[in-house]
Amino acid sequence: MARLERAFAEEALARTPFVDRALADLRAALDQVEGQKLGGKSAEASRFILRAIARMLDEA
């Protein structure tokens, strides 16, 4: 998240509706009861979202 926030601060990456939705989806997927492992569809969704965000950061 630090890399993402730095990209926003440096204006290397713009907040778009897609980025905001992806981050909201990622937060929802990661919103687990403390101590509970991320699994199933939440884990799969998180990996997909993180890969998309990483590509955007690499292209910035």
Higher pLDDT, 6 or 32: 6
Could you tell me the residue range of the domain that residue 29 belongs to? 2-59
Asked whether residue 50 carries a pLDDT value surpassing 60, the answer given is yes
Total domains in the chain come to 1
User: Binning pLDDT at 50, 70 and 90, where does residue 53 land?
Assistant: confident
Contacts of 53 (CB under 8 A, 6+ apart): 4, 19, 22, 23, 26
User: Binning pLDDT at 50, 70 and 90, where does residue 25 land?
Assistant: confident
Q: Which residue has the tokens 């509706």?
A: 17
